Amino acid sequence: MTRTRKWTAGTAAIVVLMLLAGWFLLVAPKRANADDLRTATASQEQNNLTLSGQIAQLKQQQAGLPQQEAKLATIRQQVPDNPALPALIRSISALAKKSNLTIASFAPAPPAPNTSPVVTSPLGAPSGVVPSLQTITVTINFSGTYPNVELFLNKLEALKRSFLVTGLQMSGAGGNSTASPKLTVVMQARVFDVSTIGAAPAAAPAASPAATTKPAQ
């Protein structure tokens, strides 16, 4: 092989080596970076789709928020967070006046814990003083004619606060053939509230028994 051919072959080998080196040092890393970018882009697009779905769900929930707040406001009127007896007395008195009845007495008992079964929360035991459902027994003495008593009972059904009639005792007070006899009525009822009055603090979780250590010999 002549010297010229040797130089030519050597030059070709050097060019091939430079091409290979350029591939491994420049082209291959760029292709790897491009693959990583494509993977990151696909992952980001998937995250964007997930976020778009979550945003749409939140917007849907926000659209229904006024209705939920209205429902909560109605529930708070039916079962307030305190006994609210003055407001209850005013409401009952107004209904009795519209029904042409005379209230002789209105006697509420102190709030007492409700005796319904306790519902266990799936979130675990609560801490601190937990509001509980309280029952207030009410005894109302009033008088009026039977139509007026019936009208009063019907109006009680429209009372905003939850009002459960548990007993009704009527006795006649006489009358004549041209007028309905006047009745004396003793009504027992219950109203409810959710408050911390009289509620006991939640029991603290039982501590795990301490590990016993054996004294050093």
Structure tokens at 204: 């603290």
**Alpha helices in 64-174, H assignment, sequence order:** 65-78, 85-98, 146-156
The answer on pLDDT for 140 being more than 80 is yes
Residues 54 and 86 in one domain: no
Banded model confidence at residue 211, pLDDT cuts 50, 70, 90: very low
128 within 8 A of 204, measured Cβ to Cβ: no
Average pLDDT, stretch 194-210?
53
Residues 12 and 44 in one domain: yes
The answer on pLDDT for 15 being more than 60 is yes
Tens-digit pLDDT profile for residues 103-135: 999 999 998 887 655 555 444 444 545 568 899
Residues 31 and 86 in one domain: no
The answer on pLDDT for 203 being more than 60 is no
pLDDT at position 123 is 45
Residues 93 and 159 in one domain: yes
Residues 50 and 109 in one domain: no
Tens-digit pLDDT profile for residues 40-57: 888 888 888 888 888 888
> Looking at 8-22, 49-63, 82-96, which range is the least confident one?
8-22
Structure tokens at 87: 């407001």
Give the global pTM: 0.55
Q: What is the CATH number of the domain that holds 112?
A: 3.30.70.60
Do the bridges between strand 163-172 and strand 182-195 make them parallel or antiparallel, or are there none, so unpaired? antiparallel
Maximum Cα–Cα distance across the chain: 149
Most confident of 15-24, 87-96, 171-180, 188-197: 87-96
The answer on pLDDT for 171 being more than 50 is yes
Residues 40 and 102 in one domain: no
Q: Domain range spanning residue 44?
A: 1-63
pLDDT at position 177 is 46
Residues 59 and 146 in one domain: no
Report how far residue 94's alpha carbon sits from residue 101's, in angstroms, rounded to the nearest whole number: 10
Nearest-CA neighbor of 170 among 185, 182, 181? 185
Residue bearing tokens 């250590």: 213
- The count of domains in the chain is 2
| Three-state DSSP state, 194 | strand
pLDDT at position 70 is 82
169 vs 79, 172, 179, CA distance in Å? 26, 10, 21
181 CB-near residues (< 8 Å, 6+ apart): 145, 146, 172, 173, 174, 175
